């Protein structure tokens, strides 16, 4: 890459048919990805999903088994990491212990022969509010400070593409917010392309323009955070990105705009435009905060889905909202988030309630219900409703 100059702007990143196999397992399976210049792209997924491997492939720290990597339209697949216009903020920080903070930050600038390297390093340290420790060694700093030095060390190079490997994990909430804002500011100011790898869905959603949810070496779904949240296409996305109530049932009726499912005798209506599949056994879902809890029996209202006869199993108060787990016979447990408009919870455990939601809020996912069970072993990312109901029905059959 050109020495002595900074990247003028961010660069596109394109992965074409990337496969990475390690002895014994495949980390990434035929991945295609395009990240436009100047965007803030988040790769979100549980640990072991291949997101860090993807990042390391882009950084040049691993070689793909198959496929091509292009940065700014240029094929860098066979370039070594030091030749790529890319910098990484490592999860482990990897600050050089034998150098001072300042030397660490100026390291990349010196290697590229950039003028005023020390002055620029100081600027970067001022940005992360650590200029007062410039002459200390990294091990004399706290974890959060080290992380900020690692950020400064990467950002100071103004790379066309900045890779962030869970960079804010060790920071407390306040600092994390502050760094999120600063990162966002740097990104928009210089127009750099950011590829941010994280398992923190909230961080991904608040910072990124585009989020890709990754699972088992594949991208499950990609899009703007709001789009992903409101219209998840798979059970994995629905339950990894926030919480979802999922129901599986046979499609019994279909109009020009909606499909109607039979869920243990209840009719659940979902707009066709928001459902991936329109016939046969279909899984549909709704976000817990879209549900309304009723203590009086609810009459069937056009435009509303209603489930009646639920028993409140659990009430947990969390300040802004209260989470209710309502158990419906034959349907399973449903999670409801209700804003605390009055003081405290409105119902208590054991109460008989019904829930309703606007049919426009439901979504239908494309997974075949038989396959949905594959998430069961992974507790964090399990499709909660599907897994729980399957376990429950197995128990009922056994009894």
- Using DSSP's 3-state secondary structure scheme, residue 278 falls into coil
d(CA 332, CA 310): 9
Is residue 53 within 8 A of residue 20, CB to CB? The reply is yes
User: Based on CB atoms, which residue is closest to another protein, 107 or 247?
Assistant: 107
Q: Which of 69, 86, 161, 192 binds another protein (CB under 8 A)?
A: 86
User: Based on CB atoms, which residue is closest to another protein, 157 or 248?
Assistant: 157
d(CA 29, CA 107): 35
Q: Which of 40, 107, 194, 324 binds another protein (CB under 8 A)?
A: 107
Instruction: Kindly state the smallest distance separating residue 248's Cβ from another protein, in Å.
Output: 45
Q: Which of 22, 34, 96, 317 binds another protein (CB under 8 A)?
A: 96
Site string for another protein, 133-162 (x = CB under 8 A): ----x---------------x---x-----
User: Based on CB atoms, which residue is closest to another protein, 59 or 241?
Assistant: 59
d(CA 270, CA 193): 38
Quote the Cα angle for 198-204-206, to 5°. Answer: 150
Q: Which of 27, 33, 59, 261 binds another protein (CB under 8 A)?
A: 59
Binding segment (CB under 8 A) for another protein, from list 71-79, 83-91, 292-300, 384-392:
83-91
Instruction: Kindly state the smallest distance separating residue 55's Cβ from another protein, in Å.
Output: 11
Instruction: Kindly state the smallest distance separating residue 106's Cβ from another protein, in Å.
Output: 10
Binding segment (CB under 8 A) for another protein, from list 14-22, 88-96, 236-244, 323-331:
88-96
What is each CA distance from 239 to 213, 246, 247, in whole angstroms?
A: 11, 9, 13
Q: How many CB atoms within 10 Å of residue 91?
A: 17
Q: How far apart are the first and last CA of the chain?
A: 69
Instruction: Kindly state the smallest distance separating residue 186's Cβ from another protein, in Å.
Output: 18
d(CA 367, CA 346): 36
Residue 53 in contact with another protein, rule: CB under 8 A: no
Binding segment (CB under 8 A) for another protein, from list 104-112, 190-198, 337-345, 364-372:
104-112
DSSP 344-381: S-SS-TT-EEEEEEEGGG-EEE-S-HHHHGGGTT-TTT
Instruction: Kindly state the smallest distance separating residue 23's Cβ from another protein, in Å.
Output: 10
Residue 24 in contact with another protein, rule: CB under 8 A: no
Q: Considering CB under 8 A, how many residues would be counted as binding another protein?
A: 24
DSSP 219-258: EEEEE-HHHHHHS--SHHHHHHSS--EEEEEEEEEE-SSE
Q: Which of 94, 276, 347, 392 binds another protein (CB under 8 A)?
A: 94
Q: Which of 112, 136, 277, 390 binds another protein (CB under 8 A)?
A: 112
Q: In what order do the strands lie in the sheet with 352-358?
A: 292-294, 352-358, 304-317, 321-328, 332-339
Residues 6+ apart with CB under 8 A from 249: 261, 262, 263, 264, 268, 281, 282, 284
In this structure, is the dihedral angle defined by the CA atoms of residues 388, 391, 397 and 399, taken in order, positive or negative?
negative
Binding segment (CB under 8 A) for another protein, from list 90-98, 184-192, 320-328, 347-355:
90-98
- Using DSSP's 3-state secondary structure scheme, residue 179 falls into helix
User: Based on CB atoms, which residue is closest to another protein, 159 or 332?
Assistant: 159
Q: Which of 2, 24, 73, 98 binds another protein (CB under 8 A)?
A: 98
Q: Where are the beta strands (DSSP E) in the chain?
A: 13-22, 25-35, 40-44, 66-71, 74-75, 86-89, 161-165, 193-198, 210-215, 218-223, 245-254, 258-263, 266-271, 281-286, 292-294, 304-317, 321-328, 332-339, 352-358, 363-365
Site string for another protein, 256-295 (x = CB under 8 A): ----------------------------------------
Binding segment (CB under 8 A) for another protein, from list 93-101, 192-200, 210-218, 370-378:
93-101
User: Based on CB atoms, which residue is closest to another protein, 139 or 142?
Assistant: 139
Residues engaged in binding another protein (CB under 8 A): 1, 59-61, 80-82, 86-88, 90, 92, 94-98, 107-108, 111-112, 137, 153, 157
């Amino acid at each position: 890459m050109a020495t002595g100059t900074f990247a003028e702007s961010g660069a596109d990143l394109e992965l074409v048919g990337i496969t990475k196999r390690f002895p014994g397992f495949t980390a990434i399976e035929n991945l295609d990805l395009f990240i436009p210049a100047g965007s803030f792209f988040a790769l979100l997924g549980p640990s072991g999903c291949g997101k860090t491997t993807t990042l390391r492939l882009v950084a040049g720290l691993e070689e793909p088994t198959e496929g091509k990597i292009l940065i700014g339209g240029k094929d860098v697949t066979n370039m070594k990491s030091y030749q790529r216009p890319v910098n990484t903020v490592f999860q482990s920080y990897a600050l050089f212990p034998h150098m001072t903070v300042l030397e660490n930050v100026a390291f990349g600038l010196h290697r590229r022969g950039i003028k005023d390297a020390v002055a620029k390093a100081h600027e970067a340290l001022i940005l992360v509010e650590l200029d007062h420790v410039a002459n200390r060694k990294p091990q004399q700093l706290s974890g959060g400070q080290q992380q900020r030095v690692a950020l400064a060390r990467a950002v100071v190079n103004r790379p066309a593409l900045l890779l962030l490997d869970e960079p804010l994990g060790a920071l407390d909430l306040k600092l994390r917010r502050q760094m999120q804002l600063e990162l966002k500011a740097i990104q928009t100011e210089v127009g750099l392309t950011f590829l941010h790898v994280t398992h923190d869905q909230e961080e991904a959603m608040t910072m990124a323009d585009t989020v890709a949810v990754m699972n088992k070496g594949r991208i499950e779904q990609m899009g703007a955070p709001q789009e992903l949240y409101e219209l998840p296409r798979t059970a994995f996305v629905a339950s990894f990105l926030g919480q979802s109530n999922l129901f599986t049932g046979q499609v019994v009726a279909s109009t020009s705009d909606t499909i109607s499912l039979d869920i243990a005798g209840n009719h659940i209506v979902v707009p066709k435009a928001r459902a991936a599949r329109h016939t046969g056994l279909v899984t549909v879902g709704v976000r817990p905060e879209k549900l309304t809890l009723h203590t009086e029996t609810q009459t069937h209202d056009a435009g509303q889905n209603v489930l009646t006869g639920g028993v409140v199993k659990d009430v947990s108060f969390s300040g802004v909202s209260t989470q209710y787990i309502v158990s419906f016979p034959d349907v399973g447990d449903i999670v409801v988030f209700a804003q605390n408009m009055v003081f405290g919870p409105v119902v208590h455990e054991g109460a008989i309630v019904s829930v309703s939601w606007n049919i426009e809020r439901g979504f239908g996912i494309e997974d075949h219900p038989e396959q949905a069970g594959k998430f069961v072993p992974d507790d964090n990312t399990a499709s909660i409703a599907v897994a729980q109901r399957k376990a429950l029905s197995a128990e009922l059959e056994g009894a």
